[in-house]
Each structure stands twice: as C-alpha cells, then as structure tokens.
C-alpha cells in the first residue's frame, strides 16, 4: 500500500494520534528544562530531581498494562480520550504545587493519563493500516513524540527564564483538554471480543522467545534514551555554558531535527527490509544504536556549543531509528486481539525496570562523579542493547513471526477475515 492511497479516515486517525502524541511528550518532557529553576525554588539534589522523573515513570508502569488490557477489551478511543484529559489536568495542577512533595505527586498523576494513551493509540494505528506500511505509520506517530518532546524542552527553557517555571505547566495543560475531546471522534476499533475465543495471556506472550528477547533489548535502549532526555537540559546549562532559554531552544531544535529525521529513516528502512525478509524489520535497530554511541561520546566531551549540538543531534538521529520498527515488530509478533496488551506489558517492563531507575542511577552518579561522567553509563547501555537486538532477530529467523505458542490466536484471527470489529468503516485501499 502506498502512502498516497491512504483514505480520508486513515489520514484523520493518523493526524489526531500524532497531535495527541505531540501534546503527550510536551507534557512529559517540559519538566526537564525546569530542573535548574525548580532546584533553586526547592533546594534539592540531582537525585531528588531524578525522583520527579521516576515518580512519573513508576505510575506509568503500574497503569500501562491494566489500561492496555482495558483498551483491548472495552473501547480504545474511550481509553485514549480519558487518558489525555487526565494527564492534562494533572499537568495544570503541577504549576500549583506549593512544595516539592506536591510537585512530585502531581507529576506521578501525569503518568496515569499517559499510560492510558500509548498502548491504545498504537493498537488503533495497527488496526487502521496494513502490515506493509506499519513501521512507517508508527514512525509518523513517533515523530509527534520527538517534536513534542523537543517543544517541551524548548518551551520549558523559554517560560522558566521569562515567566517562571510554574507558568510552563499552565500553558501546556490546556491544549490536551481540547485534544482529549477530539479523540472521541476516532473510529471505534476493537480486537475480537473475548466471547469469540480465549483471551491472550501474558504467560503465552512470555513463551514467545522473540518477545522476551525484545523486552530485554528494550530495557537497554529505553535506559539510554531516557537518561539523555532527562539530563540533557541540565547538562547544557551547567556544563556547556547555555542559558535556560538558549538550552531549551537549541536542544529542542537539535532533538526535533535529529530525532524526527532518524525516526523517518529508521521506519522507511525497516519497512523496506521487511518486504525482503520477514525477520528483517528490526535489523535497523542495533545498527542505529552502534552508530549513535560515538556521536554521543563526542558530544559529552566537546568544548564548543556548536560542536556539542551537531554531535548530540547526530546521536539522536541514529538512536531514534528504533522507535517505529520496535512497535511494528511487537505487533508483527502478536495477533491484533493482543496488540494493546503486548505493548502495555512492554511499557510496564521497561518503565519499571529501566526508565524508572535511569534518572536515579544517573543522578546518584552525577552527585558523586559529575554529570558528564555519569552520562557515559547510557552510552554503554545502548551498545549492550545493540547486541541484545541481534538475539531478537535470530529468534524471529528461527521461529518465524507467528510462533507456535500463539497458533490458536492466529487461526482465530484468520477465521474472522484478519479484521478487527469496526463500528465506523475504515477504508483500506491496497496498491
């Protein structure tokens, strides 16, 4: 299927979900540019600032899996809408926090709303578009993530320097309330109801070797990526001579350009390779991890602002290759009835065991050895992640995309014409 053949309904779904993902990551990452200002207002250490990211991530982990299962069983669009409205309200409340503990609680609540959105949003995309464009569509979805994250970092720096850190939360909370209502206009896609067959269990998913290997691989990639996002703004302000405004704008622009181009390149290469070999979709991931490591290393040790930004942008370009292919690979391995469940469990795993600890590990190392030295840890993590993704590829080559453990679910899906239950028609034209 060619992108030019997308139906109006498909374009509307993609646009709404990209916008929601954009606001999602503005809300999620705006706080990192506010770290220096918060540290001045509430005297705290690096590791305490790390708790702000960890509190959000732990709640995200606790909610991702049950809300992913709920989306597969009830209504994906209702779960998406409720999640957006909830996190936007929590973001607004963050600006009213009168103490560090109150801010910590508000940021934790943001994680509840965002946990509702991501697995359900990705499942809606896979239900709306055919497999041959899956990585590119997921990549377009993730472009909203990179642009939103970069906008959050830039906006946070500008708002903190001009109006104070609290105003940043007020500004970004309002658009999400509007988008939360807009999400109710999405087509009502759902996987096969449980009455038509047994529900897919986590035990079954954990008996698929490629899925288990992907969980391990995602641990290292998520640790590295989140560490750079959390501590990048503080790094450029404290160690590279940027003001809060300069740090937000410059780092945000670099992440937008490098990350968005990287997502597009990784998604295109992944779909192209998947057409040649069924097992080849994730091949691009370890290549990007390896190519990105020396660029990040050079950025940490560069002395000039321009050199830092160019090297960091190149590192973001290569590291971001994995976003579209990873989600698409999970959905390739799992029948549609379990898409949100599988992705929800993946986020549960990486949020709990990787992203929740990354800010604290780097924060403790920074308190003891300095932030630049501490940021060598995620470079090592992404190299280990590259090796781990080779195991994913080998598992797919050995067992195929449709592992025998899930045979009854694939057969049931085929009996129902490989189509989800759709209450609002979705046009799919194939070329």
Rounded alpha-carbon distances, angstroms, from residue 273 to 268, 283, 326: 9, 8, 14
CB 359, CB 60: distance < 8 Å:
no
The vertex-47 CA angle with 67 and 29, nearest 5°, equals 45
Yes or no: say if 323 and 135 are a contact pair by the CB < 8 Å rule. no
CATH fold of 3-422 = Growth Hormone; Chain: A; (1.20.1250)
For residue 72, which of 196, 207, 181 has the smallest C-alpha distance?
196
What is the predicted pLDDT for the residue at 365? 93
**Is the Cβ–Cβ distance between 231 and 365 less than 8 Å?**
no
Residues 6 or more apart whose Cβ sits within 8 Å of residue 12? 185
Dist CA 121 CA 16 (whole Å): 10
Predicted local distance difference test score (pLDDT) of residue 192: 47
Q: Give a three-class secondary structure readout of the chain.
A: CCHHHCCHHHHHHHHHHHHHHHHHHHHHHHHHHCHHHHHHHCCCCHHHHHHHHHHHHHHHHHHHHHHHHHHHHCCHHHHHHHHHHHHHHHHHHHCCCCCHHHHHHHHHHHHHHHHHHHHHHHHHHHHHCCHHHHHHHHHHHHHHHHHHHHHHHHHHHHHHHHCCHHHHHHHHHHHHHHHHHHHHHCCCEECCCHHHCCCCCHHHHCCCHHHHHHHHHHHHHHHHHHHHHHHHHHHHHHCCCCCHHHHHHHHHHHHHHHHHHHHHHHHHHHHHHHHHCCCCHHHHHHHHHHHHHHHHHHHHHCCCHHHHHHHHHHHHHHHHHHHHHHHHHHHHHCCHHHHHHHHHHHHHHHHHHHHCCHHHHHHHHHHHHCHHHHCHHHHHHHHHHHHHHHHHHHHHHHHCCCCHHHHHHHHHHHHCCCCCEECCCCCCCCC
Q: One digit per residue, pLDDT tens: the chain, 431 residues?
A: 555 677 888 888 888 888 888 888 888 888 888 888 888 888 888 888 888 888 887 887 777 777 777 777 777 888 888 888 888 888 888 888 888 889 999 888 888 877 777 777 777 877 788 777 766 787 777 777 778 877 887 888 888 888 888 888 888 888 888 888 888 888 776 544 444 445 667 888 889 999 999 999 989 988 998 898 888 888 888 788 787 777 777 777 787 788 878 888 988 888 888 888 878 888 999 999 999 999 999 999 988 888 898 999 999 899 989 877 888 888 888 887 777 778 778 877 887 778 778 888 998 999 899 989 999 999 999 999 999 999 999 999 888 888 888 888 778 777 764 444 443 333 333 33
Give the number of other CB atoms < 10 A from CB of residue 163: 12
Domain ranges of the chain: 3-422
pLDDT for res 194: 44
Contact 208, 338 (CB under 8 A): no
Which pLDDT score is estimated for 288?
A: 94
| Tokens 């909830």, residue located | 86
> Which pLDDT does position 362 carry in this prediction?
92
Distance of CA 233 to the CA centre of its chain: 19
Give which of 354, 352, 332, 355 is closest to 342, Cα–Cα: 332
pLDDT attached to residue 117: 77
On whether the CB atoms of residues 127 and 80 are closer than 8 A, the answer is no
pLDDT of res. 426: 35
Return the closest-CA partner of residue 131 out of 407, 398, 400, 336.
Answer: 336
Helix axes 100-128, 339-350, angle to 10 degrees: 150
Q: What per-residue confidence (pLDDT) applies to 317? A: 93
């Amino acid at each position: 299927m060619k992108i030019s053949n997308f139906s109006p309904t498909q374009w509307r779904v993609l646009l709404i979900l990209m916008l929601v993902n954009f606001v999602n990551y503005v809300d999620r990452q705006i706080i990192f540019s506010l770290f220096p200002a918060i540290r001045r207002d509430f005297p705290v250490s690096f590791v305490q600032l790390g708790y702000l990211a960890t509190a959000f991530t732990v709640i995200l982990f606790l909610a991702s899996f049950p809300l992913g299962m709920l989306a597969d069983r009830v209504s994906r669009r209702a779960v998406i809408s409720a999640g957006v409205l909830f996190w936007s309200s929590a973001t607004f409340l963050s600006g009213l926090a009168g103490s560090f503990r109150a801010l910590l609680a508000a940021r934790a609540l943001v994680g509840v709303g965002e946990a509702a959105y991501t697995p359900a949003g990705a499942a809606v995309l896979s239900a709306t578009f055919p497999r041959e464009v899956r990585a590119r569509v997921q990549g377009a979805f993730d472009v909203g993530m990179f642009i939103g994250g970069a906008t959050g970092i830039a906006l946070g720096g500008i708002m903190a320097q001009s109006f104070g850190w609290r105003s940043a939360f007020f500004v970004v909370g309002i658009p999400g309330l509007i988008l939360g209502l807009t999400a109710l206009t999405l087509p009502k896609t759902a996987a096969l109801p449980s009455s038509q067959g047994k529900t897919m269990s986590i035990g079954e998913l954990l008996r698929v070797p490629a899925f288990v290997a992907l969980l391990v691989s995602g641990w290292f990639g998520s640790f590295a990526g989140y560490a750079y996002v959390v501590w990048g703004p503080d790094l450029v302000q404290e160690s590279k001579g940027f003001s809060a405004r300069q740090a937000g704008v410059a780092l945000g622009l670099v992440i937008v350009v490098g990350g968005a181009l990287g997502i597009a390149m990784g998604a295109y290469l992944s779909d192209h390779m998947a057409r040649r070999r069924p097992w080849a979709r994730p091949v691009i991931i370890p290549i990007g991890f390896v190519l990105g490591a020396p660029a990040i290393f050079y950025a940490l040790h560069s002395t000039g602002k321009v050199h830092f930004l160019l090297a960091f942008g190149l590192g973001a370009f290569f590291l971001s290759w994995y976003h579209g292919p990873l989600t698409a690979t999970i959905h390739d391995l799992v029948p549609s009835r379990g898409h949100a469940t599988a992705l929800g469990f993946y986020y549960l795993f990486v949020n709990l065991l990787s992203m929740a600890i990354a800010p604290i590990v780097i924060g403790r190392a920074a308190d003891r050895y300095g932030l630049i030295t501490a940021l060598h840890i995620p470079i090592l993590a992404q190299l280990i992640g590259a090796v781990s993704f080779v195991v994913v590829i080998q598992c797919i080559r050995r067992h195929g995309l449709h592992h025998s453990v899930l045979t009854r679910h694939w057969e049931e899906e085929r009996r129902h014409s490989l189509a989800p239950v759709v209450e609002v028609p979705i046009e799919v034209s194939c070329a």
